């Protein structure tokens, strides 16, 4: 019944720009829009796959995982070809835009700098904000398009007054609102998320029924420019200054071992530390002044508060909240969410006070605010105090 509803022709045909990564989700969105009678143009962003600066290209390209058909599963030239093949199959034009310089400046360079600063960044949030939605919406406007459609799993709900709310996807396992919290109200009003009401299995089946080359394509779970999750290799290549050996110490200051650089560690890390204490110990904090990785028991990772900055709300450009408000906060994409009170400090920073202590609140990660299924916005975690459990 759902699939039938998805294929019904729209009452009004729109001119739609579809952002196509070359994967199954965005490919099906483009095909669906075409099936529904819309005037579709597909566009794929060429970001890092051909040149990122020196030897990193070869290393990343060779280490991309390959599926049974021999196709790379991260952002590569095969993805560009697959997106174009979908356009030919469904009969709509497909273009490739060179966003390589923008991607390096806004995503890769920021990613590297965050680790050098002792933070754990979220490049997917930065990519959506700086590379995908803002410039692509401008491109859509320049082409005279009514909407920009993407393959993100999220839903949009429009109030009688025209306000658009960003809602979690029907399939909670695929929900991507955490990575979309920086979308503003004008952007939301120009977007389409056709997969918000669908299950992944339905998308694959519908893609197969249409004969799309991407129907059985494997998903890559890695950051596109970080093969197999080894961000250390990226840092060693692009920022050799990240290698700054120092001490690994416990909470009392006792030396437990040596590290190769603070940038290669993150709050909550337990594996790959090269220390043996007879009990499970975790990275509690990174002391940049002393160049020390501080270890401790899991209990030391708990904190009830965090300072946040760079807040963004899906109601913008309306005014930000000026008084405290309650919400559920996800402090990482896999976090289930925790009830908290968010209070503006008046200096561009915000305090989140959780009802219950949270584990491994990590500076640099996004804290995303929810009211039920609605994503209200979010902010970047700036600091927390793991020892006293308050900021």
Catalytic positions: 127, 224
Cβ neighbours of residue 210 closer than 8 Å, sequence gap 6 or more:
28, 31, 35, 89, 90
Quote the Cα angle for 258-261-262, to 5°: 105
Q: How many angstroms separate the CA atoms of 266 and 233, rounded?
A: 15
The 3-state DSSP class for residue 72 equals strand
What burial class does residue 67 get, using C-beta atoms within 10 Å of its C-beta: 0-12 exposed, 13-18 middle, 19+ buried? middle
Q: How far apart are the first and last CA of the chain?
A: 51
Half-sphere exposure (Cβ direction) of 263: Cα atoms closer than 13 Å: 21
- Cα separation values, 275 from 244, 246, 250, 270, Å: 18, 13, 11, 10
Q: How many angstroms separate the CA atoms of 32 and 192, rounded?
A: 12
Asked if residues 346 and 330 have their Cβ atoms less than 8 Å apart, the reply is no
User: What residues does 167 pair with on adjacent strands?
Assistant: 155, 374
Q: Closest Cα to residue 325, out of 339, 338, 343, 312?
A: 343
Q: How many angstroms separate the CA atoms of 391 and 387, rounded?
A: 10
In the block, residue with structure tokens 């840092």? 235
Q: How many angstroms separate the CA atoms of 275 and 254, rounded?
A: 12
User: What residues does 155 pair with on adjacent strands?
Assistant: 167
């Amino acid at each position: 019944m759902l699939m039938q509803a998805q294929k019904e022709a729209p009452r009004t045909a729109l001119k739609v720009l579809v952002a196509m990564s070359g994967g199954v989700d965005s490919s099906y969105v483009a095909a669906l829009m075409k099936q529904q009678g819309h005037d579709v143009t597909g566009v794929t962003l060429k970001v890092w796959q051909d040149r990122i600066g020196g030897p990193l290209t070869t290393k990343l390209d060779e280490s991309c995982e390959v599926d049974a058909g021999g196709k790379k599963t991260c952002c590569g030239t095969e993805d560009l070809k697959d997106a174009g093949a979908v356009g030919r199959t469904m009969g709509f034009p497909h273009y490739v835009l060179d966003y390589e310089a923008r991607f390096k400046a806004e995503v890769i360079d920021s990613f590297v700098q965050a680790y050098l600063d002792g933070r754990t960044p979220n490049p997917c949030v930065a990519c959506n904000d700086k590379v995908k939605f803002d410039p692509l919406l401008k491109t859509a406007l320049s082409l005279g398009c009514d909407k920009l459609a993407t393959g993100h799993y999220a839903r949009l709900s429009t109030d009688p007054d025209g306000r658009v709310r960003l809602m979690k996807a029907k399939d909670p396992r695929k929900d991507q609102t955490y990575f979309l919290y920086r979308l503003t109200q004008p952007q939301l009003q120009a977007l389409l998320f056709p997969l918000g009401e669908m299950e992944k299995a339905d998308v694959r089946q519908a893609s197969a029924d249409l004969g799309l080359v991407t129907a059985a394509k494997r998903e890559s779970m890695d950051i596109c420019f970080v093969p197999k999750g080894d961000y250390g290799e990226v840092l060693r290549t692009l920022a050799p200054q990240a290698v700054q050996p120092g001490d690994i110490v416990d909470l009392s200051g006792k030396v437990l071992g040596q590290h190769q650089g603070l940038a290669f560690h993150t709050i909550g890390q337990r594996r790959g530390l090269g220390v043996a204490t007879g009990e499970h110990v975790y990275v509690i904090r990174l002391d940049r002044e002393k160049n020390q990785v501080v270890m401790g028991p899991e209990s030391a990772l708990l904190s009830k508060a965090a300072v946040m900055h760079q807040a963004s709300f899906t109601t913008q450009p309306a005014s930000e909240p000026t008084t405290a408000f309650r919400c559920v906060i996800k402090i990482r994409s896999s976090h289930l969410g925790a009830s908290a009170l968010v209070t503006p400090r008046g200096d561009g920073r915000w305090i989140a006070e959780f009802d219950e202590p949270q584990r491994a609140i990590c500076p640099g990660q996004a804290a995303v605010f929810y009211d039920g299924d609605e994503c209200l916005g979010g902010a970047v975690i700036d600091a927390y105090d793991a020892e006293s459990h308050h900021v």
